[in-house]
């Protein structure tokens, strides 16, 4: 229950899904958390409920593609908690079957901005404060789509960019005592996927059995536990790694 004692964490994309699970779990494990998302009202609803349960968590509206928004998020974290130890770049967008032929340049640039450039901006904005932490940690939520093809050109390219951004910054930031790691989820049931998956439970289950050795879709909390390990001091010798959490999907 206290795996992140005295830590301050920023978690993006926290209106629901994995971001909500990560932000909530980090607060339950002792971190003071600033949750961010472009969907402020949705995020604020669960954050207020969590604050009512005495969890140390606050939230702020945030477009992860905006440098000025990133500066406001960092200022807010410092104003609330006085420091920053952990940054989780989790916000992202996905639409199935975005092919090369079917994707405009505008759409390509938008997906790259939300899914990849955001993590660069976040690291840049938080860096001076992560340096001061002495035990800073960045966790980037990429995807197995950044490792194997078949999920659409812009999404795959954006998630692969995040994967190598992670490794490059792991090298660049090591001398500052900052670790940088990525998580690569497979299929996880969240607002992003619930409308993409077959509505029929039996059909959904059959699909997951065919795709995934563990035979089921993942839960957001199963990704959050991976983020918790990578963000915590338990992972003090782990940097530049890619943690695949996919029920075995990419194992074959
Ligand atoms: N669900 C899956 O199966 C799956 C698999 C692999 C990777 N992922 C990745 O996991 C991360 C979390 O996704 P999720 O499944 O919880 O989906 P989700 O849709 O519930 O969460 C994504 C969040 O990002 C926010 N967001 C989108 N654009 C934003 C912007 N410009 N600025 C700020 N916030 C913005 C959304 O409002 C949303 O709350 C994403 O990066 C996604 O690509 C998801």
- State if residue 15 touches ligand 1 by the CB under 6 angstroms criterion: yes
d(CA 59, CA 11): 9
Output Rg (C-alpha) for the chain, integer angstroms: 17
Topology classification of domain 8-244: Rossmann fold (3.40.50)
| Nearest of 85, 114, 120 to residue 10 by alpha carbon | 85
DSSP 3-state of 68 = helix
d(CA 34, CA 46): 13
Domain ranges of the chain: 8-244
| Nearest of 129, 134, 122, 46 to residue 88 by alpha carbon | 122
Q: What is the pTM of this model?
A: 0.98
Quote the ligand 1 centre to 5 CA distance (angstroms): 27
From 12, 98, 192, 211, give the residue whose CB has the most ligand 1 atoms within 8 Å, as the site to mutate: 192
- State if residue 242 touches ligand 1 by the CB under 6 angstroms criterion: no
pLDDT tens for the chain, residues 1 to 252: 799 999 999 999 999 999 999 999 999 999 999 999 999 999 999 999 999 999 999 999 999 999 999 999 999 999 999 999 999 999 999 999 899 999 999 999 999 999 999 999 999 999 999 999 999 999 999 999 999 999 999 999 999 999 999 999 999 999 999 999 999 999 999 999 998 999 898 999 999 999 999 999 999 999 999 999 999 999 999 999 999 999 999 999
């Amino acid at each position: 229950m206290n795996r992140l004692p005295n830590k301050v964490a920023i978690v993006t994309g926290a209106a629901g899904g994995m971001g909500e699970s990560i932000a909530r779990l980090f607060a339950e494990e002792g971190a003071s958390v600033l949750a961010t998302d472009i969907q402020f009202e949705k995020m604020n609803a669960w954050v207020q409920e969590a604050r009512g349960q005495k969890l140390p968590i606050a939230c702020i509206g945030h477009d992860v593609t905006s440098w000025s928004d990133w500066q406001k998020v960092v200022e807010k974290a410092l104003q609330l908690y006085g420091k920053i130890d952990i940054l989780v770049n989790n916000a992202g967008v996905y639409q199935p079957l975005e092919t090369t032929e079917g994707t405009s340049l505008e759409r390509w640039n938008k997906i790259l901005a939300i899914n990849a450039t955001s993590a660069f901006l976040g690291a840049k904005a938080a860096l001076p404060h992560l340096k001061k932490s002495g035990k800073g940690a960045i966790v980037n939520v990429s995807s197995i789509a950044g490792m194997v093809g078949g999920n659409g050109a812009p999404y795959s390219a954006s998630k692969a960019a995040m994967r190598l951004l992670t490794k490059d910054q792991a090298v660049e930031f090591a001398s500052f005592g900052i670790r940088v790691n990525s998580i690569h989820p497979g299929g996880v049931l969240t607002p992003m996927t619930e409308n993409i998956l077959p509505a029929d439970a039996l059909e959904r289950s059959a699909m997951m059995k065919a795709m995934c050795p563990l035979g089921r879709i993942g839960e957001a909390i199963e990704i959050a536990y991976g983020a918790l390990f990578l963000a915590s001091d338990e992972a003090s010798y782990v940097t530049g790694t890619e943690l695949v959490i996919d029920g075995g999907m990419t194992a074959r």
